[in-house]
Chains A and B, each alone.
Chain A
Amino acid sequence: MIKVRQSTIIDAPVDTVWRLLRDFNGHESWHPAIATSAIEGGEPVDMVGAVRRFRLKDGGELREQLLSLSDRQRRLTYCLLEAPLPLMGYVATISLKPVTDGDRTFWEWSSEFHPPAERRDELVRLVTEGIYRTGFEAIRRLVGRAPVLGTLPLPSPAGGAGGRPAPQAVSFSHDEKADRAQVGALIPPPLTPPLKEEGDSVGAPGARTGDVVRLGAGVAESPSPLREGVRGGGTPAEGSDVSRQDRTRAIVVERHGGPEVLQPGEIALPPPGTGEVRVRHTAIGVNYIDVYCRTGYFDLLQPPGVPGMEAAGVVEALGPGVGDLAIGDRVAYAGPPLGAYCERANRPAGMLVGLSDDIADELAAAGLLKGVTASFLLHDVFAVRPGHVVLVHAAAGGVGQLLVQWARHLGATVIATTSSEAKARVVERLGAQHVLLYGRGADFASEVMRISGGRGADVVYDAVGKDTFAGSLVALGVRGHLVSFGQASGPVGDWDIGRFASKSVTVSRPNYGHFTDTPEKLGPHVARFFAAVRRGVVALDPPRRYALADAADAHRDLEARATTGSLVLVP
């Protein structure tokens, strides 16, 4: 495989050049080598699939087909169908980019083909000089402003006698490119720059679909007969083992209580109902809210029941009326109804989030609920702006770590509290400007006042509850806002709101469900969280793993404040 690449600068606006080049039959009017050309069947010149049949001035006749055309990228790709020369497998791309500095055009013309070895040099020369460079000059004469390449210092390209040979970018195998790619990181870049990999391949038309959530084909695509069979009448497909899987391993809470009530067992699993899909879990998130459900502090779990509201996995079966998911899709969810602590669960399809290839199952299972929570806490409950003083309690915990990183990204001064030196170091690494230890009688409220020069915090994110609530109120500035979103140390007790008037403070007690209980509410937070992960705004440590049967251990560690970051159960 030979790869040929030529590029030049045309001193004309990119749209001027593109108007000429995007016409697949236009080469007749500008390329000196072309005598006549026509699109077969009289099809439009910008129809992908159009075939141009043309004759060279030396008599040879060729046919080429337009494979892709993008007005957005100003790029087109075509292949050779018939030619009098052995340019086997010839696929070429023309790509334009604006040079904003001077309103000029960068034009790259590249191709790949397999020539017979003995004619390689001859064919490379024909393509690079006879076609590409000749084409560059023709367009330059047509639209370029004089003087030719006035701003480029090095040799005039137009066949100047005695000029040194122009460099040609030619490589001879994919292996060589791979070698260069590997050593490139270890040694200084070579004097001759390595070739660029073409971003878009023409080899797999249709592989890129409009679906931006599920990247890549393959595992996500199930054979349609199976899918249709399952979707059809809502009955399990012939040959699939859905019908036999009427039970699943699960953690069952028979009564509210301590971690010991998390007992492994089995529960019945009916076929997915209307609007539901069955998800085979690959990782299950453990959240502090699961503790509240287990103890009965929240009345979300009525024994006997299965706790958990966050997991990632693979769609295993579709209930009636589910149209936009397929068996094999990677998905995740975060939120009620409960029941995630199990191997398989039926879930409402509308509340499932498709996972792209760059979001791992464990990251989604460990991070989705916390990430969505952090998203609405920082944007909806209170909108953090540059310059705000933000106090985050339990900053080494799951949501806390996200709040610290994200608030700092939003331009806030972040003051974090945590319970140990080790956790303080974690929080410092996340970017908190100030880290305070609580639990030693230290008065964090005074520290916040000192750090903020007496102004106090604009917002306090407090999921610790009883131990911190009073101090959080003291740490607030005038018209500050206290977000109480948990009570890991116990309920905050009764407060006379008359006392809030001294600083006009406001307090909110957000409930996850009220910000996320429809796809319309949930979607933007999921998108914002995944974007933040991709862009490195928030970095998540790999979660600590426990076997599903050891869910009680996970809860013990979580309640003992022995953990930093996230926990997952693995079925």
Chain B
Amino acid sequence: MPKIFISTVIAAPAAEVWRVVRDFNGLPSWTPFVAESRIEQGAKADQIGCIRNFVLKDGGRIRERLLALSDYDLSCTYTILESPMGVSDYIATLALTPVTDGNATFASWQAEFDCAPEREAALVQQIGQGVFQAAFTALKQRFGR
């Protein structure tokens, strides 16, 4: 089962970063690759079990279910229900941790999933760099440096 771990340091207090990333329906506002997003069935974006249905700027549609959200741990876990990527049993967690020394934020984004063996390397690259790192880079720019 391939695993991905991407992390970065963001120059803002964790609570400020969390206000941006905790919105399960907020990908269009902070990632560079999501065009539009909605929550299915009129659910709340912080309702555990809700499904976000979003369209990538390249046209792909992804549906993801919110499995866990913690304002205490500053973490969010979700699973992919449907995507053009050809992954199964995909589960990912985005978590923030305060860096007390400098009042910054350590952000990590990890995922594990199953896929056809020959696609593993490409998917790890695509998700790790094209999704997680790209989103982190956008967050870093948003918060200044």
- Interface residue ranges, A against B (CB under 8 Å): 5-9, 97-102, 104, 106, 108, 133, 136, 149, 151-155, 157, 166-169, 177, 180-181, 184-185, 188-194, 196-197, 386, 408-411, 429, 431, 531-532, 535-537, 539
B74 to chain A, nearest CB (A): 6
Q: A386-B86, A431-B82 are in contact. Are A97 and B108 (CB under 8 A)?
A: yes
Q: Are B8 and A194 in contact (CB under 8 A)?
A: no
Instruction: List A contacts of B108 (CB < 8 A).
Output: 97
**Alpha-carbon separation in the docked complex, A182 to B83 (Å):** 34
Instruction: List A contacts of B56 (CB < 8 A).
Output: none
Q: Which residue of A lies closest to B106 (CB)?
A: A106
Instruction: List B contacts of A108 (CB < 8 A).
Output: 97
A69 to chain B, nearest CB (A): 21
Q: A136-B101, A190-B15 are in contact. Are A409 and B9 (CB under 8 A)?
A: no
Name A's interface SS: loop
The listed residue (A101, A168, A184, A531) touching B72 by CB distance below 8 A is: A184
Q: Are A7 and B99 in contact (CB under 8 A)?
A: yes
Q: Are A154 and B103 in contact (CB under 8 A)?
A: yes
**Alpha-carbon separation in the docked complex, A149 to B101 (Å):** 10
Interface range on chain B (Cβ under 8 Å from partner): 35 or more
- Cβ contacts A to B, 25 pairs, < 8 Å: A6-B101, A7-B98, A7-B101, A9-B99, A9-B104, A9-B106, A98-B7, A100-B8, A149-B102, A152-B9, A152-B104, A153-B102, A154-B103, A157-B101, A166-B103, A168-B100, A184-B72, A189-B18, A190-B15, A193-B18, A193-B98, A410-B88, A431-B81, A531-B89, A537-B79
Q: Are A153 and B100 in contact (CB under 8 A)?
A: no
Instruction: List A contacts of B136 (CB < 8 A).
Output: 101
Q: A7-B101, A149-B102 are in contact. Are A535 and B15 (CB under 8 A)?
A: no
**Alpha-carbon separation in the docked complex, A157 to B99 (Å):** 12
Q: Pick the 3 closest A-B CB pairs, nearest first.
A: A184-B71, A8-B101, A101-B8
**Alpha-carbon separation in the docked complex, A539 to B41 (Å):** 15
Q: Which residue of A lies closest to B49 (CB)?
A: A536
B117, CB-defined interface residue at 8 Å: no
Instruction: List A contacts of B16 (CB < 8 A).
Output: 191
Give B43-75 as 1s and 0s: 1 = Cβ < 8 Å from A's Cβ atoms. 000100100000000000001010100111110
Q: Are A166 and B7 in contact (CB under 8 A)?
A: no
The listed residue (B8, B11, B73, B106) touching A154 by CB distance below 8 A is: B11
A185 to chain B, nearest CB (A): 6
**Alpha-carbon separation in the docked complex, A321 to B87 (Å):** 42
Q: Are B86 and A9 in contact (CB under 8 A)?
A: no
The listed residue (B19, B49, B82, B102) touching A8 by CB distance below 8 A is: B102
Q: Which residue of B lies closest to A409 (CB)?
A: B81
B26, CB-defined interface residue at 8 Å: no
Instruction: List A contacts of B84 (CB < 8 A).
Output: 386, 411
Instruction: List A contacts of B65 (CB < 8 A).
Output: 536
The interface centre, meaning the residue of B8, B9, B70, B101 with most chain A CB atoms within 10 A of its CB, is B101
Q: Are A193 and B74 in contact (CB under 8 A)?
A: yes
Instruction: List A contacts of B91 (CB < 8 A).
Output: 535
Instruction: List B contacts of A408 (CB < 8 A).
Output: 81-82
**Alpha-carbon separation in the docked complex, A152 to B6 (Å):** 18
The interface centre, meaning the residue of B71, B74, B84, B103 with most chain A CB atoms within 10 A of its CB, is B71
Q: Are A154 and B104 in contact (CB under 8 A)?
A: yes
B5, CB-defined interface residue at 8 Å: yes
Q: Are A99 and B9 in contact (CB under 8 A)?
A: yes
Q: Are B106 and A99 in contact (CB under 8 A)?
A: yes
Instruction: List B contacts of A192 (CB < 8 A).
Output: 13, 15
Q: A7-B97, A197-B72 are in contact. Are A100 and B102 (CB under 8 A)?
A: no
A6 to chain B, nearest CB (A): 5
A150 to chain B, nearest CB (A): 11
B29 to chain A, nearest CB (A): 16
Q: A9-B106, A106-B99, A408-B82 are in contact. Are A193 and B13 (CB under 8 A)?
A: yes
